[in-house]
Structure 1
Amino acid sequence: MEPGLASEPTRSMDASAEQSLPEPGSQDSVAGDDIEIVVNVGGVRQVLYGDLLSQYPETRLAELINCLAGGYDTIFSLCDDYDPGKREFYFDRDPDAFKCVIEVYYFGEVHMKKGICPICFKNEMDFWKVDLKFLDDCCKSHLSEKREELEEIARRVQLILDDLGVDAAEGRWRRCQKCVWKFLEKPESSCPARVVAVLSFLLILVSSVVMCMGTIPELQVVDSEGNRVEHPTLENVETACIGWFTLEYLLRLFSSPNKLHFALSFMNIVDVLAILPFYVSLTLTHLGARMMELTNVQQAVQALRIMRIARIFKLARHSSGLQTLTYALKRSFKELGLLLMYLAVGIFVFSALGYTMEQSHPETLFKSIPQSFWWAIITMTTVGYGDIYPKTTLGKLNAAISFLCGVIAIALPIHPIINNFVRYYNKQRVLETAAKHELELMELNSSSAESKPGGSRSDLDTLPPEPAAREGPSWGSRLKLSHSDTFIPLLTEEKHHRTRLQSCK
């Protein structure tokens, strides 16, 4: 049992040494370091002492020491209820969170218990007036992560609300832009939008297949100058696909709310790289021959046609799996860096050893250490083309060791990368579900509010009415219904929707 903390007041002291709380407003209502404070938080009774609480006088519990001198008005400004007979303060708060918060008086820091929502715990710390600087760094990371999730949910809900809402002040041109943007960027908004998204996906596949088939000699034709070129049918198919990609890009650029952000987005840069080579090649073919030699034009066109492989990355726009994989690789830069470092060290060591051990053989294939790098790379990555191989016993032993080390080095970062992939994928599903849940709660709250004047009254109707002079919802009175609930403040600035984030639990 920790000193100063007990479920029941079990510490026995002399009457002269122990000072209990006097009556509110009496002349004996003075502060003392040995005063006994009895609090009841969510049904759990705690006994604290003035010398312990006075370490942090700005906290709510420390203010209880001097609150009796101000009478009942001061008392009820700090707690929910007070029993003069038992001289006990009552708080309708989370007892589990309170047990974590009072650690600051004993250890000077606060640790958040596992299973408590970080946002709810922050609200508890704010209520008890304990500064967040006392929260341990490991717990602050969980709080920051939960804040990011709330911001992401708020952003998704706000986007959905913007799509559903119609602003009468907007002009026809602006409404047209929003409709086009919603039609092209959000396939789930309507059935025609989904059809267009599927058609765009199929055209990406068709254009990629046509690009590959154009390199088959049997499908090529000979032009007037004796050069083999793509079949005209394949060129027509590619032209149609490029026309669709160009129209799609221009419409999305036209309807984008932020043109600069749209142009600098990675996926939109990929779109430009996918369609730009076609027009540059077309320009060089028809106009470049007048300004440069025909051979140089053909070489430039061939180089640009290779850039058409960028259109395969357009599939990431329509595939959440590819987007998740990209995010997992971005979050795994540290693990990938370790992999490259291990391989680089192993390649240098084993190539030098292989070169040294193979010099005694008259028909050695290891002519130099830089040439041995190629052998070490294909050996450690378990490829093994067989163009360079050891012939001595020591060289073969060195090759076996390098092979095993390569397998271990490559397998090490696989687990963190897979974990990042699964974590991000599950997080996206949770955020999507939470956003839908928020919308359902908002719709339920709005429908219940509309049914109050003429329908049956619920238990919430017994609450005191909101002040008429105050605009917008009163968050303080509504949140007092449940201290464990949270709301998304980002949605309260303009839309004034109250939400309860049950998913954070």
Structure 2
Amino acid sequence: MAGDFRFPDADTDVTEKNEETEIVVNVGGVRQVFYSDNLNQYPETRLAELLNCLSGGYDSIFSLCDDYDPGKREFYFDRDPDAFKCIIDVYYFGEIHMKKGICPICFKNEMEFWKVDLKFLDDCCKTHLSEKKEELEEIARRVQLILDDLGVDASESRWKRCQKYIWKFLEKPESSYPARVIAVLSFLFILISSVVMCVGTIPDMQVLDAEGNRVEHPTLDSIETACIGWFTMEYVLRLISSPNKLHFALSFMNIVDVLAILPFYVSLTLTHLGAKLMELSNVQQAVQALRIMRIARIFKLARHSSGLQTLTYALKRSFKELGLLLMYLAVGIFVFSALGYTMEQSHPDTLFKSIPQSFWWAIITMTTVGYGDIYPKTTLGKLNAAISFLCGVIAIALPIHPIINNFVRYYNKQRVLETAAKHELELMELNSAEGKAASSRSELGDLASEGKEGPFYSSRLKVSHSDTFIHLLSEEKHYRTRLQSCK
């Protein structure tokens, strides 16, 4: 086909000149005719370069396309035709939209192949592309963390290796069985400490001190001291072994850990030293105020519960919906409290003394709690109350569905990313074993024909047919054909 190529003659008629102003492109079996007027709008694109490549000979032609038919003046490309149909919109409309179902990363690669700038991609499509990039970066980060845990650098000092081991032992329960046991113990200490804090407030479980004041039972106090000792040792070891101590100290969960430990030592200091500097009653009030801060340790459960972490992230992603909910309730509370105050003024035994006092009634009514401490007594007031709790139900129900969707979407996304990270590790293990397997394929074929299992198929290595590759983990360039897709 390429051997019949001839350069165009200089003496061409008007018809041949018109043919030179158009090109025929065949992308994956889909033929498209383009005219120079449209292509020259973007001269840096690959299709525009095809107009001038004929005068450069074979090297110029085949540097731009996969094949060329000089008889039909047709350029062949082994690329994705569906993505190409979207990309050529830039020549007619000046913008590009991705079709539903096309992988954003593959579409970006197609745009780079056709040398079309990403600025022509519509904003909504750029959002899908950025989300896909974030997913790949998250997968790459998880894979890199696993590889860092598996790899051992012999050039590192003994202290550095010990530091990594302690960090993995305390932060990654899935790394080993002892680490899992430590995570379970930490979880149990949190539960025991929370239970002791609650039981210590029961009057029957308290004892009288020398001044006649009720204090916690010495046994409960000893259990509390043991739990604080565990929390302190755990925090100090994690701080020492942390690779980035500033980031560790400013992390939210680690701040919670400090708030759960600090009140014990501050109250202990005030109890033994504060009496000499201030009145004993002030010291006791300060100690009680610090003791109530022990409730912060219940948030430590989020470190060991993926469900609580998912819920926290879903609430963070639902700030807009939660803001709408609070705005609806705030407007309703103001309106119905003002109406309730006005309508109840005619009753001599009214409970609505002022509009700010009526806010409490509006809150418990719109949220359908209804304590009954404040209630309307007039007919119009009761009608206002009925309308207020109906509006409250509607206002609360409207944003709930988006919040639930955010939770389900994030939960499913985390499961997909976890599976993708494991799959990527399997692919990397498979690719690393290909070199060794190539030299023994004939031997494996003989073993397979005899019904035996070769050494290549181990329990750790699973065969996969996906072509997914995380580019962030390698500096090498990998190209895809139209038959491949990013799964």
TM-aligned CA distance change 1:24 to 1:269, over 3 Å: farther
What is the alpha-carbon distance in structure 1 between the residues aligned to residue 32 and residue 202 of structure 2? 82
Equivalent-residue separation in structure 2 for 1:499 and 1:486 (angstroms) = 11
Quick check: 1:488 aligned with 2:463? Answer: no
Q: Identify which of 126, 142, 158 aligns with 1:140.
A: 126
Shift, 1:485, TM fit: 5.5
Q: Which of 200, 213, 216 is 2:202 aligned to?
A: 216
Residues 504 and 397 of structure 1: CA distance in aligned 2, closer, same or farther (over 3 Å): farther
Bigger mean CA deviation after superposition, 135-144 or 33-42: 33-42
Higher relative contact order, chain-length normalized (CA < 8 Å, sep 6+) = 2
Q: 1:504 to 1:222 in 2, by over 3 A?
A: farther
Match of 1:256 in 2: 242
**2: distance between equivalents of 1:428 and 1:499?**
28
Unaligned stretches of 5+ in structure 2? 445-464
Give how far 1:84 is off: 2.5
Match of 2:96 among 81, 100, 110: 110
- Separation in 2 of the partners of 1:87 and 1:345? 70
CA distance in 2: counterparts of 1:121 and 1:110, whole angstroms: 11
1:270 equivalenced with 2:252 (yes/no): no
Supply the distance in 2 between the matched residues of 1:222 and 1:363 (Cα, whole angstroms). 46
2:311 equivalent in structure 1: 325
Shift of 1:455: 4.2
Return closer, same or farther for 1:419/1:292 CA change in 2, 3 Å cut-off: same
Per-residue deviation, 1:452: 2.6
How far did residue 430 of structure 1 move?
A: 0.7
Determine the structure 1 residue equivalent to 2:167.
181
CA shift digits 1:96-129 (9 cap, x unpaired)? 1111111111111111011111000000000000
Indicate conservation of the 8 Å contact 1:442/1:497, yes or no.
Answer: no
Paired with 2:145 and 2:230, the residues of 1 have a C-alpha distance of: 27
Cα distance in 2 between the residues matched to 1:149 and 1:262: 24
Give distance in 2, aligned partners of 1:205 and 1:504: 45
Instruction: Please state how far the C-alpha of 1:180 moved relative to its aligned partner.
Output: 0.6
Q: 1:131 to 1:503 in 2, by over 3 A?
A: closer
Secondary structure in 2 aligned to 1:452? helix
Residue 411 (str. 1) matches residue 397 (str. 2): yes
Q: Report the residue type matching 1:218 in the other structure.
A: D
Deviations 1:12-62 (CA, angstroms, capped at 9, x unpaired): xxxxxxxxxx95544549987862312221222222222222221111011
Rounded to whole Å, the distance in 2 between the matches of 1:246 and 1:113 is: 55
Q: Which digits, 9 at most, give the CA deviation of each residue in 1:227-256, with x for residues without a partner?
A: 111111111111111111111111110110
Indicate the RMSD between aligned Cα atoms, in angstroms: 2.3
In structure 2, give the amino acid aligned to 1:259: K
- Correspondence 1:288 to 2:274: yes
Note if contact 2:340-2:381 (Cα within 8 Å) is conserved in structure 1.
yes
Is 1:234 matched with 2:220? yes
Query: Matched residues in 2 for 1:61 and 1:325: separation?
Result: 49
- Give the Cα separation in 2 of the matches to 1:252 and 1:81: 60
Match of 1:370 among 356, 360, 366: 356
> Is 1:382 aligned to 2:368, yes or no?
yes
Question: Aligned pair 1:437/2:419, yes or no?
Answer: no
Q: Closer, same or farther in 2 for the Cα pair 1:489/1:77, shift >3 Å?
A: same
1:118 touches 1:143 (CA, 8 Å); kept in 2? Answer: yes
Secondary structure of the structure 2 residue equivalent to 1:390 = coil
Report the TM-score when normalising by structure 1.
0.87
Residue 111 of structure 2 is aligned to residue 125 of structure 1: yes
Instruction: Specify the alignment match of 1:471 in structure 2.
Output: none
1:61 to 24, 47, 59: 47
Unmatched runs of 5 consecutive residues or more in structure 1: 1-21, 459-481
Which residue in 2 is equivalent to 1:18? Answer: none
Task: Give the C-alpha shift of residue 86 in structure 1.
Answer: 2.9
Aligned to 2:79: 93
CA distance in 1 between counterparts of 2:269 and 2:139 reads 47
* Same amino acid, percent of matched pairs: 85
| One-letter code aligned to 2:165 | C
Q: For structure 1, which segment, 119-128 or 41-50, has the greater mean C-alpha deviation from structure 2 after superposition?
A: 41-50
Say if 1:498 and 1:73 are closer, same or farther in 2 by CA, change over 3 A: closer
Tell me the secondary structure at the aligned position of residue 63 of structure 2. Answer: helix
- Summarize the Cα distance change of 1:497–1:122 in structure 2 as closer, same or farther, 3 Å threshold: closer
Write the letter of the residue equivalent to 2:474: T
Task: State the alpha-carbon separation in 2 of the partners of residues 117 and 39 from structure 1.
Answer: 23
Q: Deviations over 1:409-463 (max 9, x none)?
A: 11111111101111111111111111111100000000012233454499xxxxx
Alpha-carbon distance in 2 for matches of 1:392, 1:504:
67
Aligned counterpart, 1:476: none
1:301 aligns with 2:271: no
Counterpart for residue 402 of structure 1:
388
Please give the per-residue CA displacement for 1:274-300, whole angstroms capped at 9, x wherever unaligned: 111111111111111111111111111
Q: Given that residues 36 and 48 in structure 2 are in contact (C-alpha distance below 8 angstroms), is that contact kept between their aligned partners in structure 1?
A: yes
Paired residues of 2:467 and 2:486 also in contact (CA < 8 A): no
State the TM-score, normalizing by the size of structure 2. 0.90
Given residue 336 of structure 2, which amino acid in structure 1 is its aligned partner?
F
Does residue 348 (structure 1) correspond to residue 338 (structure 2)? The answer is: no
Moved more, 88-97 or 257-266: 88-97
Rate the CA distance shift 1:55–1:141 in 2: closer, same or farther, 3 A: same
- Write the letter of the residue equivalent to 1:273: L
Q: Give how far 1:68 is off.
A: 0.6
Confirm or deny that 1:205 pairs with 2:187: no
Q: Is the 8 A contact 2:467 2:485 kept in 1?
A: no
CA distance in 1, matches of 2:404, 2:88: 39
2:153 corresponds in structure 1 to 167
1:40 maps to 26
- CA spacing shift, 1:176–1:35, aligned 2, 3 Å: same
Q: In structure 1, what is the Cα distance between the partners aligned to 2:354 and 2:485?
A: 62
